[in-house]
Homo-oligomer: A and B are copies of this chain.
């Protein structure tokens, strides 16, 4: 009987869960990572937490999702800015604690895998998961398997090119999808427009407190018919339409799932997205793809890691 443990390892905390064969969380626990932790000490701390959680059972599989550039084949973290780790053999450290199968994976890939295993219909084999939040990331399932690519870097949809000389991205490049979709980018541009006198129902809130302008407020204003707020979401949908057009041409997927805070804007994004797709992309592959906002996906990262 397999005993699967997932770890969603971030810069603030490590969520650890024991996941049943039916993909439910049997028990979970959180360990503080406190930024730039000593890797050996942290692994020891997590190992203790796992032993306590499993109460005498031994793990057969441990999967870890980590933000960063991961060599999944070797189980090595090439670089994780959030944890301050470089060239760290995490798999070996964990296997020194537990004699079991250990897989270390990029956190976006782990979450994509979890979403695929839990929410995708059984006959879906080619699925793309896009996380639309502060940043934009993703994971790609092809032929029912997580596609990692030559260096485990596949699925970085957030840096697809939308406009060669577009907005500056955190990656140093210009015009990446993330700059059209990521929450901080939307808020920054909305504030700049409001500050220069843009007509909008959001002006009162902005004048009272500029920091009250959030993606949620932009969505509410758009839902209430505010033309300026609607134009912001139209821009998000249009950029996603261009990127997804490319993904449809290249991969011809059956399904695309959105997760993350920005995805919760739902139809505000999906409508202009589909307008762009219908206008630009060949009918056969476009009409074959379903695009959905994933259901509540709070534990998808840790469950996905356990199922790797």
Q: Which of B149, B159, B254 contacts A150 (CB 8 A)?
A: B254
Q: How far is the CB of A71 from chain B (nearest CB, A)?
A: 9
With A154-B252, A250-B160, A252-B148 already in contact, the answer to whether A171 and B242 are too (CB < 8 A) is no
Q: Which of B148, B242, B253, B288 contacts A161 (CB 8 A)?
A: B242
Chain B residues positioned under 8 Å from A282 (CB to CB): 69, 153, 156, 159, 171
Q: How far is the CB of A110 from chain B (nearest CB, A)?
A: 16
What 1/0 flags go to A223-261 for Cβ under 8 Å of B?
Answer: 000000000000000000010011111111110000000
A249→B142 contact, CB < 8 A: no
With A161-B246, A164-B242, A242-B164 already in contact, the answer to whether A252 and B149 are too (CB < 8 A) is yes
A residues 127-144 touching B (CB-CB < 8 Å) = 140, 142-143
With A282-B153, A284-B69 already in contact, the answer to whether A163 and B160 are too (CB < 8 A) is no
Q: Which of B151, B246, B254 contacts A284 (CB 8 A)?
A: B151
Q: How far is the CB of A178 from chain B (nearest CB, A)?
A: 11
A149→B253 contact, CB < 8 A: yes
CA distance A69 to B282 in the complex (A): 10
A173, CB-defined interface residue at 8 Å: yes
Where the two chains meet, the residues of A that have a C-beta atom closer than 8 Å to any C-beta of B are: 69, 78, 126, 140, 142-143, 145, 147-157, 159-164, 171, 173, 242, 245-254, 279-282, 284-285, 288-289
List 8 A-B pairs, minimum CB-CB distance, nearest first.
A149-B252, A154-B252, A153-B285, A156-B249, A150-B288, A150-B254, A153-B252, A151-B288
